[in-house]
Structure 1
Amino acid sequence: MNPCNGKIIGLTGGIATGKSTVSNILRELGYEVIDADIIARQMVEIGKPAYEEIINVFGKNILDDKGNINRKELASIIFRDFLMRKRLNDIVHPFVFREISRQINEHKDQRVIFVDVPLLIEELDKFKEYEIAFDEIWLVYVDENTQLNRLIKRDKMSKEEGLRKIRAQMPIDEKRKYATRIIDNSKDLISLRRQVLRIIEDSI
Structure 2
Amino acid sequence: MFIVGLTGGIATGKSTVCEVFREHGVPIVDADAAARKVVEPGKPAWHKIRNEFGAEVTCNDGTINREKLGDLIFNDVEKRKKLNAFTHPDIYKEMCWQAFKYFFQGHPFIVMDLPLLFETGKMLHYLHKIIVVTCEEDLQLQRLMERSGFTEAKAKLRISAQMSQDRKAEMSNFVIENSSSIQDMRDQTIKIINVLKSSNYHWRLRLILGFCCTVLLAGAFWLRNRNTKQLLPSL
TM-score, scaled relative to structure 1: 0.91
Q: Secondary structure, in 3 states, of the residue corresponding to 2:12?
A: coil
Q: Name structure 2 gaps, 5 residues minimum.
A: 198-235
Q: Which residue of 2 aligns with 1:201?
A: 194
Q: Secondary structure, in 3 states, of the residue corresponding to 1:122?
A: helix
Q: Distance in 2 between matches of 1:138 and 1:82?
A: 27
Give the drift of 1:193: 0.8
Q: Which residue of 1 aligns with 2:152?
A: 159
Detail structure 1 runs of 4+ shifted over 3 Å in the superposition. Answer: none
Q: Is the 8 A contact 1:143 1:172 kept in 2?
A: no
Q: Secondary structure, in 3 states, of the residue corresponding to 1:34?
A: strand
1:94-173 to structure 2, matched below 5 A, reads: 94-108=89-103, 109-124=106-121, 126-127=122-123, 133-173=126-166
Q: One-letter code of the match for 2:183? A: I
Q: Distance in 1 between matches of 2:166 and 2:52?
A: 33
Deviations 1:38-96 (A, max 9, x none): 00001111122311011111011111111211111101111111111111011000001
Q: Which residue of 2 aligns with 1:21?
A: 16
Q: Is the 8 A contact 2:20 2:190 kept in 1?
A: no
Q: Distance in 1 between matches of 2:173 and 2:147?
A: 28
Q: Distance in 2 between matches of 1:67 and 1:202?
A: 45
Q: Is the 8 A contact 2:21 2:193 kept in 1?
A: no
Q: Which residue of 2 aligns with 1:12?
A: 7
Q: Secondary structure, in 3 states, of the residue corresponding to 1:16?
A: coil
Q: Name structure 1 gaps, 5 residues minimum.
A: 1-5
Give the drift of 1:123: 2.2
Q: Secondary structure, in 3 states, of the residue corresponding to 1:137?
A: strand
Q: One-letter code of the match for 2:42? A: G
Q: Distance in 1 between matches of 2:113 and 2:181?
A: 21
Q: Distance in 2 between matches of 1:123 and 1:62?
A: 24
Deviations 1:145-170 (A, max 9, x none): 22111111211221111100000111
Q: Secondary structure, in 3 states, of the residue corresponding to 2:116?
A: coil
Q: Is the 8 A contact 1:9 1:138 kept in 2?
A: yes
Q: Is the 8 A contact 1:121 1:175 kept in 2?
A: yes
Q: Distance in 2 between matches of 1:49 and 1:110?
A: 32
Q: Which residue of 2 aligns with 1:56?
A: 51
Q: One-letter code of the match for 2:107? A: Q
Match status 1:188 vs 2:181: yes
Q: Distance in 1 between matches of 2:119 and 2:160?
A: 13
TM-score, scaled relative to structure 2: 0.80
Q: Is the 8 A contact 1:63 1:69 kept in 2?
A: yes
Deviations 1:173-195 (A, max 9, x none): 11111110000100111111111
Q: Percentage identity across aligned positions?
A: 39
Q: Is the 8 A contact 2:26 2:110 kept in 1?
A: yes
What is the total number of aligned residue pairs between the two structures? 195
Q: One-letter code of the match for 1:25? A: V
RMSD of aligned C-alpha atoms? Answer: 1.2
Give the drift of 1:143: 2.4
Q: One-letter code of the match for 1:181? A: F
Q: Is the 8 A contact 1:143 1:173 kept in 2?
A: no
